[in-house]
Amino acid sequence: MRNYDRDQVLFLSSYPPRECGIATYSKDLINAVSSKFSPTFDVKVCALENNYSSLDYPSKVISTLNTRVRGDYLQMAGEINTDESIKMVFIQHEFGLFGGNYGNYLFDFLFALRKPVSVTFHSVLPHPDAELLRAVQTIAKLVDSIVVLTKKSADILSKTYGIDSRKICTIPHGTHLTEWKKKEGIKEEYGLTGKSVLSTFGLLSPNKSIETAIEAIPAIRQKVPDVLYLVLGKTHPGVVQNEGEKYRNYLKQRVADLQLDNHVKFVNKFLDLDDLLNYLRATDLYLFTSKDPYQAVSGTFAYAMSCGCPIISTPIPHALEMLENGGGCLVDFNNPTQLAGTAIDLLMDRDRLATLSHMGFQQSRASAWDNVAVSHARLFANHISDEKTLQYNYPEITLKHIYELTDSKGIIQFSSICEPDINSGYTLDDNARALIALCMYYSYSPKKKNRDLLGTYLRFIKHCQLKNGSFLNYVDKNGNHSEKNYYVNLEDSNGRAIWALGAVVANENSLPENYVKLAEEILLKCLPWTLDVRSPRAIAFVIKGLYNYNQVRQNLEISEIIDRLAKQLTAHYQDVRTRDWNWFETHLTYANAVMPEAMMRAYAETGNPDYRLVAEESIAFLISRITHRGIFRFVSNRGWLHKGKESQIFGEQPIEAAYTIFALEFFWRTTRDDYFQRLAFKAFDWFLGRNQLGQSLYNPVTGGCHDGLEEHEVNLNQGAESTLCYVMARLTMDEMIKSIPEKLDRRPYELSDRIRSKRKTNLEKKILRRYARKEEKFRKPDRKTTDDLNQTGV
């Protein structure tokens, strides 16, 4: 693929190995942006130093600034101005980081800088004196945009400091993705089995008021004898420099005085990320006891919530905002009695504790670092060039969550967050999708584990087949066919089974011979009922499966069935189609793109141009209805989209994105029109955060895909359908990327907005001009075949 010059963004911030909260924050943010957008941005650091020396910085740090030497600010601005590779400067601001009164040495830098610049205010004080007010207002005038971490901070900047709200962007403190797992295993690993674990972490300082929590432990111990309070983290280097370990020694003395040696444990070290997250995941209740009412935000608070820790917190602005909708409880400052009572109530009500844990985990997903990276990347792109230049990194392909969901019977239908819910049973739908995904993946990794999975899914389909060749869909956790099979329409699931079976046969050169033979036997047994299918979507699935089958078998009878099914689908289209509704049904629901794709496959099989006309008209119509302002906005499952009515928003599902990608990929291979290729990239980016919420649906920690894009957050559950659709889409994109010539520009966002117009899309107009038809009857099919088409076995 073509390479691009990356835009360099320079962070002005403290940075590890310096030990402070903003250094850690900057490292995490830079890692997230680099991981998600490395083809677009090259992020470097100018590290802020406070007379530090001999720090061994990583390669990301290309310069340092001694913040106590005023002249160095002008010199640094001059160096940045003359460096053409630096396109933007991003400052992480805390008043204590910069020299002068209220950090006013920074003004010299900003006055001299001639590059776009943005600043993140990590602290926003609500009652500034005159000098502080002027300092913040001066910075605000000299920068192009301001980032704050809470809505409360944005409100204070606007109302108290008089800063134009249009200049302010709220992006939450990032959090690390973690797996949702039961605590018992982690507790055992860390020697905490049988304990009710409370914890606090961070660089120790008097402002954290750890003594408040310690003084609450005696009362908690009376009701919860197995309580253990973990104080995690080193003392803040600034505190050590000024007073040594005076504060830590004071806390240890309080523990001794209260005879709590068996109930309070200090972990006096700077924890690496894995240890920190594991301690938090083992925590039953997190205690945040800061005594600073003006502390705008806390990274430790955010990390705890992301690990599913129910939280008891003092009412700092960050806590007020995050706990507004659940996830924990608020207590007054410096009130150990109230803290003890709240902790006892929660520890003795495990159901409520679990509810709070789930609510906090759900809320924190929006602030995961991969989502925070999307928000920052958009900000950078707006200052440097245009958001449409953003190019996402694609995650590595993994079947980790598929392995978790699969047992000896098949793939389990649902999960509770990322834990398989065996009570949901199994479906033919999901196991057919799983078989397709494994057919695609097996060429990447022909390991025994994957070969065994192929057999598991194929046997499940065989288990669901009836004597007449049709299939049942629902199987309970014991492997028995469910009563639901007898009152739910099963045509779509039957069609999907044929799609899967055809995929196995189409991949006969790479799959075990016995699997191919079994799949072909099952498929041929289906043929008698295929022409009785009435659902347009089911017809489309059957066409896909038979088309795949015929790429290697070239069976005239199969070709005839494809032709007859395409005629049926064409009849549906003719019956419903009007000037402003070029579709097969009077509504758009789920897996919509499979119908235009099936018509294009029927064209590829038969050479009938009428099928291509229907395919191109309908795909153009569909794209016009599922895109909005440059992004895909798929049909909502909250009532679908009915002819003559407006589409509802949110309730978007991964199945829609995946099936759109499958269709676009086949249209691209068939027509070689790069328009379809570009749209496919754009559609896949929906999974990664280019959507209405700016949130990623793919979870790189679990390898799963979240079940939907809701109004305020993603649906945390990672069921079989969503995960399989993501994996199939990711594999499809990988094959597409391999097929793109080096000279082609694969960046999807330089595409002009051809997708939507007030009446008809450009593609619709192009098709209508090409065929010069208007309400003309379709000609009888031409039975010629096309041997020159690039074909795919998906």
Q: Is 66 helix (H, G, I), strand (E, B) or coil?
A: strand
Question: Which element (helix H / strand E) includes 474?
Answer: strand 474-475
Predicted confidence at residue 480, as pLDDT, reads 96
Residue where the block lists tokens 């985990």: 361
Predicted confidence at residue 398, as pLDDT, reads 96
Q: Report which of 587, 719, 713 is spatially closest to residue 650, judged by C-alpha positions.
A: 713
**Residue 472 amino acid letter:** L
- Contact assessment for residue 316 and residue 295, using Cβ atoms and an 8 Å cutoff: yes
- Contact assessment for residue 493 and residue 471, using Cβ atoms and an 8 Å cutoff: yes
> How far apart are alpha carbons 529 and 304 in whole angstroms?
56
Predicted confidence at residue 551, as pLDDT, reads 96
Structure tokens at 412: 């389990």
Predicted confidence at residue 416, as pLDDT, reads 93
Q: Sign of the CA dihedral 429, 431, 432, 437?
A: positive
> How far apart are alpha carbons 287 and 308 in whole angstroms?
13
Predicted confidence at residue 778, as pLDDT, reads 34
For the chain, 794 residues long, the average pLDDT of each consecutive 10-residue run is 67 93 94 94 94 82 95 97 96 94 96 97 94 97 96 95 96 90 85 94 92 97 96 90 93 96 92 88 94 83 89 90 86 96 95 90 90 96 77 95 98 95 97 98 95 98 96 96 90 97 97 97 95 95 98 95 97 96 96 98 97 97 93 93 88 97 97 94 96 95 96 94 98 92 43 33 48 36 32 35
Predicted confidence at residue 388, as pLDDT, reads 55
> How far apart are alpha carbons 19 and 28 in whole angstroms?
13
Predicted confidence at residue 789, as pLDDT, reads 28
Residue where the block lists tokens 């758009």: 588
pTM exceeding the 0.85 threshold for the entire prediction: yes
Residue where the block lists tokens 């799609």: 499
Helix runs in 536-608, H state only: 536-553, 556-576, 594-606
Q: Is 151 helix (H, G, I), strand (E, B) or coil?
A: helix
Predicted confidence at residue 741, as pLDDT, reads 66
Distances from the Cα of 507 to the Cαs of 272, 502, 512, 513, 601, in angstroms?
Answer: 45, 9, 10, 10, 17
Q: Report which of 46, 14, 37, 21 is spatially closest to residue 117, judged by C-alpha positions.
A: 46
Q: In angstroms, how far is the first alpha carbon of the chain from the final one? A: 23
The backbone torsions φ and ψ at residue 455, rounded to the nearest 5 degrees and listed phi first, read -65, -40
Distances from the Cα of 318 to the Cαs of 142, 153, 300, 323, in angstroms?
Answer: 27, 9, 11, 8
> How far apart are alpha carbons 545 and 431 in whole angstroms?
15
